[in-house]
Amino acid sequence: MRRALIALVVLSALSLAPPSFALAVDEPLPDPVLEARARTIHKILRCLVCQNQSIEDSNADLARDLRHIVRERLLEGDSDAEATQYVVDRYGDWVLLRPPFKATTYALWIGPFALLAVAAAGIVVFLRRRLVIAAPKPLDEKEHERLRRVLEESEAR
């Protein structure tokens, strides 16, 4: 009975816990059109903490800050491109989930294919070296004589 009473007190205390323990949820913009534009931008920006998620999908504090910045820029009257460019100017092209193909991002776009080509060339060289079979050298006179004796002995048996 005492355990049940303690459990009831603990559950009551937890249910009265302040909302600061809850997960933070972004406050949407009052204008649904602006909010839709913000969410579109959120989907093309990379979370710098998670690195393979958009800021729309990430729960990281930095992603939440970036979402807030984008919403602020839209409220100030920026276009989608201007709001996106503002974030890119601060964090570089890498913040985009699909960085543009230009001189500073060649490594991002071409690097994986170059590594794959180098690996394939390495495999080809390795296999060619392994498959080279040396031609057997002919027997010398001592080996001929020994072979002849072994064959005669085996026939005699």
Predicted confidence at residue 100, as pLDDT, reads 85
Tell me, yes or no, whether 29 and 74 share the same domain: yes
Tell me, yes or no, whether 75 and 126 share the same domain: no
Rg from Cα positions in the chain = 35
Is the CB of residue 44 less than 8 Å from the CB of residue 84? yes
Closest by CA position to 68, among listed 52, 56, 53, 50: 56
First to last CA, the chain: 98
**Structural domain includes residue 93:** yes
Predicted confidence at residue 89, as pLDDT, reads 94
Predicted confidence at residue 122, as pLDDT, reads 95
Q: Which of 77, 100, 123 is the last residue of a domain?
A: 100
Tell me, yes or no, whether 78 and 118 share the same domain: no
Predicted confidence at residue 102, as pLDDT, reads 84
Q: Which of 85, 100, 115 is the last residue of a domain?
A: 100
Predicted confidence at residue 22, as pLDDT, reads 43
Structure tokens at 62: 């930095």
Predicted confidence at residue 28, as pLDDT, reads 82
Tell me, yes or no, whether 113 and 63 share the same domain: no
Separation of alpha carbons 63 and 137, rounded Å: 70
Tell me, yes or no, whether 39 and 94 share the same domain: yes
Tell me, yes or no, whether 110 and 152 share the same domain: yes
Provide the domain limits for residue 67: 22-100
In the chain, which stretches have pLDDT less than 70? Answer: 5, 7-25, 133-135
Tell me, yes or no, whether 56 and 111 share the same domain: no
Structure tokens at 119: 């690996």
Structure tokens at 81: 């491109």
Tell me, yes or no, whether 92 and 109 share the same domain: no
H helix or E strand, kind and range, residue 37: helix 32-44
What proportions of the chain, in percent to the nearest 5, are helix, strand and coil?
65, 5, 30
The total number of structural domains in the chain stands at 2
**Structural domain includes residue 8:** no
Contacts of 70 (CB under 8 A, 6+ apart): 38, 41, 42, 45, 55, 83, 84, 87
Tell me, yes or no, whether 32 and 96 share the same domain: yes
